[in-house]
Chain A
């Protein structure tokens, strides 16, 4: 039996996240979209905490809400938003796209409900106290090779970003 607060916070955070998501895709001003996205990210960080993943939640706040979103805001600053604000925001096929996406979502939910019985009832015990240590054990042990590849990926991304953004190489 869970405390009632859990239910409350789930719906609160889920609502904020969905609200943020809706705002992201509907705002005219890209800065507003970015701020809405930050709202979503922070709500999700809260949900991660509820899922016994404090480390991922921290990473989510620091890296996503802190790092990546600042990057977004910089780029919005670099490209002129005034001009794009005055233009049509949605493309010609927006209705088809909307319908297709909603159909996809409906399908997902249908599948989840249909396959609900497949999920194990018993939850594993995740100790919050040594969560970071556990992740670190996996990262530098079982997933070491993957980890190195990820670092290589970041290096490539850095070089790629510099090459793209530079005026003249």
Chain B
């Protein structure tokens, strides 16, 4: 149980690396920086593997309880001196552990965060080799790993919040890594500020939980939530879960807080891969999955999650159809896939959502790293309109990206097929079909996904070369440190899905069974609730019938095929000035999509106030202007009025001071004292010898007096 007992070391390894970079990084060689930072993450990964492996044995013997390791109380006390009153009037200690929790859910996150993180660290040693601030970059990356591991390994909401803010900070630092570029620092600010909105939701949700349950530990909260004391649809729990979901929306880029993620692509590409695709943005999914016991008690929240997820999925996918920046396509794809995950969570298919997080981590990290490799080859060019015909020149990158594209498009037997299909099937079948409209949304999204991904592949790797001769001349395959992680990730993108091979295709869906200790009960509760809903609706229960599942499977594969076909038709032979099919079919739609539904502009009008509606400015800046007006007219007017009164009274008191106090009392007394003190002043020579003379004369006097008295 060595690894399990010292599970706290897993986040501390990268923390150590970050500390070394912080204190000594400037003086270290690039090679040393690489060894320390990559080595620390590798240690974390190995340790995590060891801990998860030992957890299996431990769980067998302990009824699949979560493993907990509490180091100390870092917030509040455990002595009972700081108690607060919960909603039912009992006292609860104000306390949060520095404690670690390992169960199947956090084990999955632990493995892919450290694993994908390790690969991306290795990739970064190649990608960032010629960049300034090498140690700074790796220091931030290690700090991010520490925060992310704290987030997923904490045993209470407060510690999760620490990690949550930590990853937000690292995200900010890394988006703004090229801080001399105004766009990058603006994007960093945007990410940070938008995330604050979500974080406020998380905090309020956390406080609500503390107030309602009297504890922030997952174990305590889950125990109470499952105890049956609370009704399904309890308003407080609904409020708490909705607030938590606001936090998840911020971190995982869901409507309406997704706007920061596409802009976050200003950061270095490995950062986009690690933070904004594979790990950090799934923190919201993790949080919702971690709170599953609460969410099943709040059907309203579940519906909200599902609807927001589905809408985000199709919304982002539709924007992705027309973007030309290779990283932005991937960014919108990420938002869209995150929407899928929330859709799965919302319909109660927690395991399917987590499964999609797992597979998505590999193929989306692979796509971003591949895109980074392409950008590297193209000397920094990110616009797909200026690419083309790269398949032969950078074959490894091409093949790995193709695998990832097949995976995300949902072509069997690649990873994305299993997870996405599971989500669509669960959406179709849960609650007796109440969510079928969402299934349709998901289905259309799948089609769009296939289309924009193959559009990316065709525009980048096929067609005629559309770049400058200068750039074309420099195209080269990336170094080994970059291609090896690509290949490893490609293997994972192929194989990761096999863990969740569904029953209907003769598999055993090991992944879902692995998560059973976390989700099984909740899934059951949810389905029973669904049954009630069905009874009300008077519908029959939808059987988990194989023919239908096969049909849906076929449909989604067919959708992927249609997307592939369309993309091939329009883009396979794209030359300079090629035509966008959507633009030709419906120019207004194209413009709307190209401008991302004008959401940023709308936010500028309504929330930030950077744009005016007529002469009226709304939002934060409008508030600022209004308060500036109030300040200038009302407050300053009051201040000035008070100032005038003060000046008047000052004049009076000045006159009084000058003539009565100074003139009569002070100077008058001094004038009297001056002549009176004439004799005393005479004695003050200031010369030491004269004083000594007086002393001697006095001595003579005294001696004479005593001698002859």
Contacts and interface: CB of A to CB of B under 8 A. Distances in A.
A–B interface present (Cβ within 8 A): yes
Interface of A: 91, 93, 96-97, 100-101, 103-104, 107-108, 110-111, 114
A103 B699 CA distance: 10
A110 B699 CA distance: 15
Contacts of A91: 689
Interface stretch (B216-224, B630-638, B700-708): B700-708
B689 A97 contact: yes
Given A91-B689, A93-B689, A97-B689, A104 B707 contact: no
A108 B703 CA distance: 8
A144 B707 CA distance: 36
Nearest to B706: A111
B71 interface: no
B554 interface: no
B703 A111 contact: yes
Interface string B670-692: 00000000000000000001100
A103 B702 CA distance: 12
A90 to B, nearest CB: 10
A110 B690 contact: no
A110 B707 contact: yes
A113 B445 CA distance: 129
Contacts of B700: 100, 103-104, 107
Given A93-B690, A101-B696, A107-B700, 18 more contacts: A91-B689, A93-B689, A93-B693, A96-B693, A97-B689, A97-B696, A100-B693, A100-B696, A100-B700, A103-B700, A104-B696, A104-B700, A104-B703, A107-B703, A107-B704, A108-B703, A111-B707, A114-B707
Contacts of B690: 93
Nearest to A91: B689
A103 B697 CA distance: 9
A27 B707 CA distance: 35
Residue of B693, B696, B700, B707 contacting most chain A CB atoms (<10 Å): B700
Interface of B: 689-690, 693, 696-697, 699-700, 703-704, 707
A103 B703 CA distance: 11
25 contacts: A91-B689, A93-B689, A93-B693, A96-B693, A97-B689, A97-B693, A97-B696, A100-B693, A100-B696, A100-B697, A100-B700, A101-B696, A103-B700, A104-B696, A104-B699, A104-B700, A104-B703, A107-B700, A107-B703, A107-B704, A107-B707, A108-B703, A111-B703, A111-B707, A114-B707
A38 B139 CA distance: 76
Contacts of B704: 107
A120 to B, nearest CB: 21
Contacts of A104: 696, 699-700, 703
A11 B690 CA distance: 35
Contacts of A97: 689, 693, 696
B399 to A, nearest CB: 75
Residue of A96, A100, A114 contacting most chain B CB atoms (<10 Å): A100
Contacts of A107: 700, 703-704, 707
Contacts of A93: 689-690, 693
Contacts of B689: 91, 93, 97
A122 to B, nearest CB: 26
A24 B693 CA distance: 19
A110 B708 CA distance: 10
Nearest to A104: B700
B701 to A, nearest CB: 10
Contacts of A108: 703
Contacts of A96: 693
A104 B707 CA distance: 12
Nearest to B694: A100
A59 B521 CA distance: 102
A128 to B, nearest CB: 35
Nearest to B703: A107
Contacts of B696: 97, 100-101, 104
Ranked 10 nearest A-B pairs via Cβ: A100-B696, A107-B703, A103-B700, A104-B700, A111-B707, A100-B697, A97-B693, A107-B704, A104-B696, A107-B700
A91 B703 CA distance: 26
Contacts of B699: 104
A91 B685 CA distance: 14
A7 to B, nearest CB: 29
Nearest to B699: A104
Contacts of B693: 93, 96-97, 100
A114 B707 CA distance: 9
A104 B699 CA distance: 8
A96 B700 CA distance: 13
A94 to B, nearest CB: 10
A113 to B, nearest CB: 11
A114 B693 CA distance: 26
Nearest to B704: A107
A123 B330 CA distance: 117
A152 B700 CA distance: 34
A161 B641 CA distance: 62
A117 to B, nearest CB: 14
A97 to B, nearest CB: 5
A101 B694 CA distance: 11
